[in-house]
Structure 1
Amino acid sequence: MLRLWSVLCLSLLLLACSKPLPEQTNQLADIYQRGQLRVGILHGPTSYYIGVDGPTGFEYELAKGLADRLGVELQLFPSFDLDDLQTKLKNGQVDFIAGGLTLTPERTQKFRAAPAYRWINELLVFRQGNNWPQQLTDLTEPVIVSAHSSHAETLKRLSAEIPGLSYQEDPELDADELLQKVVDGSINYTLTDSNQLAVNRRLFPQLTIGFTVSENLPVGWLLPKTRDDSLFSVLIEYFGHVYQNGDLVTLEDRYFGHVEQFDYVDTIRFIRAIDDTLPKFKSWFMEYAGELDWRLLAALSYQESHWNPKARSPTGVRGLMMLTMPTAQQMGVQSRIDSEQSIDGGSRYLQMLLTRIPERIPMPDRLWFALASYNIGWGHLEDARRLTQRDGADPDKWLEVKQRLPLLRKKSVYQHTRFGFARGDEAALYVENIRRYYDTLVGVDERQQLEQKLEQQRQRLVEQTEQVADAPPLSQ
């Protein structure tokens, strides 16, 4: 973050020293005149996608925040193809391109780079169980990367330094699809960004890091090469604002904070449980989810009991949703080891906790607070929020509160709280685990739905083919 602040200060200094604009065009004035901020954005799990509640993604929220700050409508031009977006930028169809783009020398020669807001590493990835390469000279097969990508640019530069380095550019597959090809064994190696790998590993834990190819590469938006500084000036101010008020850190934590820690064995075990155990209870998760996403409810249950209906803790909580006796009585659950009753009671209890969270707290922080309360109790959560406020931080942000939860273990702290000692560190980890399980379950569920649709289409095609074959021949 200090690096971002330095970049913003330098950008302001250079902008102040630039010559006056001779032409009359003004990009910012055009944006206000049309009432729209036109953004070319890349589809992908680390950038922009359509979620349960509509458009979402790290880059989407950043762009939406800018549009809201300007008081204009956000008009998106989504694409899976960066070349397509670059053409739109050159032709003036979009104001800038967003998509977690590495600011490579080749890109910054063609376009103007907005201030960098993140830094990533480029990683050589292979499949778990194959020979582990330690450096580029250990590779036995070509590295496959997306055509015209930052990874292709990196390998092009390195191939001039390392004789024999072989790589191929695939014009059809994007970075996420290439990672899947590594998993299924179709290709041996690819390059990926560190944040992209962290997200994909939740679904494909077999992905393994061979070594780091490039470190601390800046990520930012691309603007057209023009001497008009109006929009560029706004971007400097905007990123300075979201850095200072903590919105940028909060956004990073929302999308990437919970995937930074990776447990290969736990992820493999969870994916197996999705196939082997979840089907026994899935219909009840769906039936009793209410306003919740059933997959979130299932993720909560796995964190609690690993989907074991007879699970029991040393403290006496029992069942799939690990309800205490008072909570079960409050929710009208007669048998905590009855799977259907447990899921119903646990879902209603979580939704009740959601209603206790102040309405001013937006989703998803509101949900993270409710989950923490499910684990540690409402009173202890409120103690952590009061500690957060005492420190001058925002008690309505999960990112801030989860940093104070571990303090509830310290006698010097908890003796001055209303509800006393609590295992706050476990509550923070509890929420992050559920978020990781939820991400994995969403990915597996969406993949299964796609496979079912493809199978249905295949069956219809077979039936149509059989009908044509059985039809009587046309009369001459």
Structure 2
Amino acid sequence: MIQKSPFVTKEIKRLFIISLLISSVTLSCTKDSDRSNNSSESNPITVFEPVDRDFDDIKESGVLRMITFYSSNTYFLNQGIEVGFEYELLKEFARENDLAVEVIIVGAEENPFDLLNKGIGDVIAANYTITPERREVAKFTRPYNIVDQMVVYSSELRDRPQTLDELSESGIPISVRRNSSYYSRLMELNEEEYNFNIDPISDGMDTEAALFQVAEGNLVATVSDDNMYNSSNRYMEGLYPGPVVAESDTIAWAIRSNATELESKMNRYLYKHFRFSEDKDEPRRSTFLNVLRKKYFEQSRQMAQYYNPEWQYQSMGVISPYDEMIRTVADSIDIDWLMLTAMIAQESSFNPNSKSWAGAVGLMQIMPQFVDSTAYENYQELYDPMTNIRLGAGIIKEHIEHYSYIDSTEQQWAFALATYNVGPGHMADARRLTIDQNKNPNDWDAVSGSLIKLMQRRHYQKARYGFARGIEPVQYVEEIMNRYRTYQAILALTEQQQAAGFTNVLGPTFNR
């Protein structure tokens, strides 16, 4: 086991607090409220009839929309890069099916099953247990994980019960959300033979937030999935394991009840990564799934590297390490800084030393041959973050201005992004092809179809600039737009959290 130095523990705790500020109060369900049933008092389900949208429709759109919550193992931003156990598992499914992933973050007054059945999203990937109540409104895939529900104590509690009988007799308050499966399970046990002292806490506090309060000694005990406990125990001090209250909960993705083709595709994918052995004793997991589990849940060197204490996030609402630079540059030329941030994530994953096979370098992957050599005599200057951002922003600004006659700002950005990726020559060819097909050359959907057609010989041999791998700019635009919308949602949640104040997370007590 890797030892936790005081410095690492302190920094990790600080980073963790920042993530909680975004997730634990504003969202009425995160990670495991996500595990609330359809009688949740906060956000009851209102849509029971699903729209007609199956895998063929998703494939035609090119985008799989993931409904989830902002938490440390479902989905979150790490230095601007989208990560999380659920996100990475679903993204691999999307990759195998040539789909982009758009993340739909559940808002404070939204129910994920309503978002699913309305067609706003296509799959709920949020560490969901399969329950009879949920089966009434959605269908579930094969399971991809099994967890035990366990009591977790504060290490400040001296006499920690080791069995359920001892816990029942002790009268120790067990703090759980009323709309969680943990609460339901404790109530079931009380109806059977126990007398647990159940302490309802705010529905806005997710399992991570409750564990943090237990670690700090502000709560005496709570209930958590064992994988969540293992993950939290890696970077929180003050947690102590207690008895198991439920064994072998199955975790799966939720999809619309009429999405039979999507269910089949997902089940085949999940079967490759998780299935039971012949004796049904131990599940068999793929190497890929084991790597994800180790990365997010187990005490491993990968986890220690993942929570790098050098990441100096000083406030909420931080998207990337270069937010201040990006804002400064974007404001100076009057473009959307968040879209510029989404571009940098796509181009270089915020790695200032990135260099492509074609020679593009830096945060915005600038091609040296297209830069004024007299202004940048030293090639290494292009690796300077501010220099690179200024150059890239200047280029995208020129493209936006080129398409300024298009009414829609979103359409202007789509054309500008595609031009940044594939070049103005291929874009001109695609627009001419669009005109030849009696379609609107100022409509991105029409032109994106033409870009893809430029991969076909009968079309590109007539084009001035020849063959273009048109699928790449189309996916490039789609992924940046999706990421941009996700960034917007995260910042909106942050603003709501700031307006609500921090005391519910950092204070010594919570509103009951």
Shorter-chain TM-score range: 0.3 to 0.5
Higher relative contact order (CA 8 A, sep 6+): 2
TM-score calculated relative to the size of structure 2: 0.44
Q: Could you tell me the TM-score, scaled by structure 1's length?
A: 0.47
Between Structure 1 and Structure 2, the one with more helix by share is 1
